[in-house]
Amino acid sequence: MQSAFRRVPQLGVAVVLGAWLSGCGSDSGADPEAVAVPVGNDGKTITASKDGITAFLQQGGYLTWTKESAVHDSVRSHGGRVRSYFNDKYLQARRGSSFPMTVGAMSVKELYKDPSLYGYAVAVKTRAGSGAETWTWYETTGLPDVPYFGVANPTCEGCHSADSGRDRSLTATVP
Ligand code: HEC
């Protein structure tokens, strides 16, 4: 499956859309050790479970992070319009090409149907080192449902593992 995604990335879109349309998703489970992941630029920690990430989003915990300058068309996935936010650990890794990222690196991608914010896609580095098991993924297209969640989530890995050596980070540039 994964090598098929690498060769034909569009397949990932079809799989994501198909899963949305049929109303199912995938949950590969939380990392049981990810109970105090330091994601805040001020050191704030979260539990990288479905509920822990949902609470962080609803509290707007990422809103002070560095963000893309405007809501823009999505490159090839993640719906129509998007805006990504990056915490300092994520930014420092990308700006300095220092990989793998450190535990607590996190990106939140807001998903828009103009003009409304309706969902979030999230990546959190929950374990040290490299590999699929070091990232927890989360995506909702309308809370309270979180159809895609978990460590090494296969849907997210389908594209994000083709990272060109940037520890699963796909955006072409960070702000
Ligand atoms: C069809 C391919 C594809 C799939 C599947 C996919 N992504 Fe992405 N994702 C991208 C691309 C391409 C970017 C960078 C361009 C952009 O920001 O639109 C990106 C960017 C992101 C970002 C911003 C950080 C970064 O890597 O640049 C997050 C967070 C993210 N995706 C989360 C997820 C989650 C969670 C899932 C699984 C539910 C997922 N993605 C599945 C292609 C994909």
Strand partners, 112: 81, 117
Q: Among the atoms of ligand 1, which is closest to the Cα of residue 123?
A: 29
Residue 92: name the closest of 125, 60, 119, 120 by CA.
125
DSSP calls for 75-134 = SSSSSSEEEEEE-HHHHHHHHHT--SPPTT-EEEEEEEETTEEEEEEEEEE-SSSSSGGG
What domains appear along the chain, each with residue ranges and CATH number? 2-160 (3.50.70)
Q: How far apart are the C-alpha atoms of 50 and 172, rounded to whole Å?
A: 27
Of 5, 16, 78, 120, best ligand 1 pocket probe by most atoms within 8 Å of the beta carbon: 78
7: pLDDT strictly greater than 50: no
Q: How far apart are the C-alpha atoms of 112 and 86, rounded to whole Å?
A: 17
For 36-66, how does the pLDDT look when each residue is reduced to its tens digit (9 = 90+)?
999 999 999 999 999 999 999 999 999 999 9
Average pLDDT of every residue of the chain: 88
For 55-96, how does the pLDDT look when each residue is reduced to its tens digit (9 = 90+)?
999 999 999 999 999 999 998 778 789 999 999 999 999 999
Measure 58 CA to ligand 1 centroid, in angstroms. 20
Provide the whole-model pTM. Answer: 0.88
Question: Average pLDDT, stretch 13-33?
Answer: 68
